[in-house]
């Protein structure tokens, strides 16, 4: 993990150091369409984010930013697409932090190496997950859920999007921090775990706002906590798990990455443009509906955020007893 930090930070500092972008490339870039590779199918969170910012980057920088979905193999297909593209600033990846952080803990031979194959461009936003329980669970607050779980260790279960998913690792860290024992029921994606919670097959899940809010409104689910460092402005009455577990933060990063060797002028120009567009009121509204809190961090701040996320994931993976296969 120290190597990850050094690598991300060295690239971030080199890019940030250009400041005024004096080169001819900085003045003319971009001079052709830019590809935003997404390692998931259309409709997923990174895809949604890529399309929102892509439209505004097109308007801001005067060249088309085109989304290219390369789903499959846990991000390996997208990573290969980036690796095979020229390091010229015209191909980027829009992805989430878990794609970078989780593979070493579940795969013996990951298809890509986070610290070698990617360099940070921008932290577009942070995507929290909510702890939601079925309406029949006899708990209306986090304190009540903790008391219920402690009275019957292991009797309550939770569904996740799969073994080693960010949903699974968040729940493992949550149990450790709260001193409770839950039974894990892995599913093949949130498309299965959410209906299972609503149908009562599992007691609770950690899920995204778009997947849950409709069920909350019709009384089929209850939100008890959020996994980010602080409460969300969208749900100010829902406490953050950090209020019970100091320092707890498992909201995941949504980032833009580039291929090593990409001109720092291009990285800085895209970074500055993203920082501008995520502050536009209409973009803020679109990202919020998608469950993303806009950030638009600097290259260096993005590097630091990715390192911190990897550290959190590593600790949770160790506690969960994950072993590469």
**pLDDT tens digits, one per residue of 247-304:** 999 999 999 999 999 999 999 999 999 999 999 999 999 999 999 999 999 999 999 9
Return phi, psi of residue 249, to 5°.
-160, 105
Residue 325 has pLDDT above 90, yes or no: no
| pLDDT reading at 17 higher than 50 | no
* pLDDT, position 156: 97
Judged by average pLDDT, the poorest of 7-16, 87-96, 138-147, 313-322 is 7-16
Residue 154 has pLDDT above 90, yes or no: yes
Average pLDDT over residues 65-85: 95
Span 123-140, average pLDDT: 97
Query: How many angstroms separate the most distant Cα atoms in the chain?
Result: 67
Report d(CA 145, CA 223) in Å as an integer. 11
- Global pTM value: 0.88
Average pLDDT over every residue of 312-324: 90
Tell me phi and psi for residue 66, to 5 degrees: -105, 130
For position 323, what pLDDT does the model report? 87
Mean pLDDT (whole number) for 192-198: 96
Q: What is the pLDDT of residue 23?
A: 57
- Which domains can be identified in the chain, with CATH numbers? 2-126+251-320 (3.40.190.150), 130-243 (3.40.190.10)
Give residue 144's pLDDT.
98
- Long-range contacts of range 29-32, CB-CB < 8 Å, 24 or more positions apart? 29/89, 29/263, 29/265, 29/266, 29/269, 30/61, 30/62, 30/63, 30/89, 30/90, 30/266, 30/269, 31/63, 32/63, 32/90
* Region 143-160 average pLDDT: 97
Across the range 236-246, mean pLDDT stands at: 96
Question: What is the DSSP-derived secondary structure letter of residue 131?
Answer: E
The mean pLDDT of the chain is 92
Lowest mean pLDDT, pick from 4-18, 64-78, 188-202: 4-18
Q: How far apart are CA 128 and CA 254, in angstroms?
A: 11
Range with lowest mean pLDDT among 137-151, 195-209, 268-282, 311-325? 311-325
Among the residue ranges 21-30, 63-72, 220-229, the one predicted with the least confidence is 21-30
- Specify the higher pLDDT residue, 140 or 115: 140
């Amino acid at each position: 993990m120290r190597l990850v930090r050094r690598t991300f930070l060295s690239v971030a500092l080199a890019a940030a150091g250009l400041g005024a972008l004096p080169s001819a490339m900085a003045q003319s870039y971009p001079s052709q369409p830019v590809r935003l590779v997404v390692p998931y199918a259309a409709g997923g969170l990174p895809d949604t984010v890529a399309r929102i910012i892509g439209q505004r980057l097109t308007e801001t920088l005067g060249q088309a930013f085109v989304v290219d979905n390369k789903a499959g193999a846990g991000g390996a297909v997208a990573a290969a697409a980036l690796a095979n593209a020229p390091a010229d600033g015209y191909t980027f990846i829009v992805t989430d932090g878990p794609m970078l952080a989780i593979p070493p803990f579940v795969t013996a031979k990951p298809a890509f190496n986070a610290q070698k194959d990617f360099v940070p461009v921008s932290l577009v936003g942070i995507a929290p997950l909510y702890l939601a329980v079925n309406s029949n669970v006899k708990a209306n607050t986090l304190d009540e859920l903790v008391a219920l779980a402690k009275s019957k260790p292991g009797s309550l279960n939770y569904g996740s999007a799969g073994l080693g998913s960010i949903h699974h690792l968040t729940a493992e860290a949550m149990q450790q921090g709260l001193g409770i024992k839950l039974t894990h029921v892995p599913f093949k994606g949130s498309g299965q775990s959410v209906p299972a919670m609503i149908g009562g097959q599992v007691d609770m899940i950690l899920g995204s706002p778009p997947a849950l809010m409709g069920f909350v409104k019709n009384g089929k689910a209850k939100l008890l906590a959020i996994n980010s460092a602080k409460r969300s402005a969208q749900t100010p009455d829902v406490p953050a798990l950090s209020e019970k577990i100091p320092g707890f933060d498992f909201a995941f990063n949504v980032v833009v990455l580039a291929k090593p060797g990409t001109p720092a002028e291009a990285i800085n120009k895209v970074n500055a443009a993203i920082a501008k567009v995520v502050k536009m009121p209409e973009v803020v509204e679109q990202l919020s509906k998608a469950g993303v809190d806009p950030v638009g961090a600097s290259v260096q701040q993005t590097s630091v955020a990715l390192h911190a996320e990897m550290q959190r994931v590593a600790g949770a993976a160790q506690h969960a007893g994950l072993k590469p296969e």
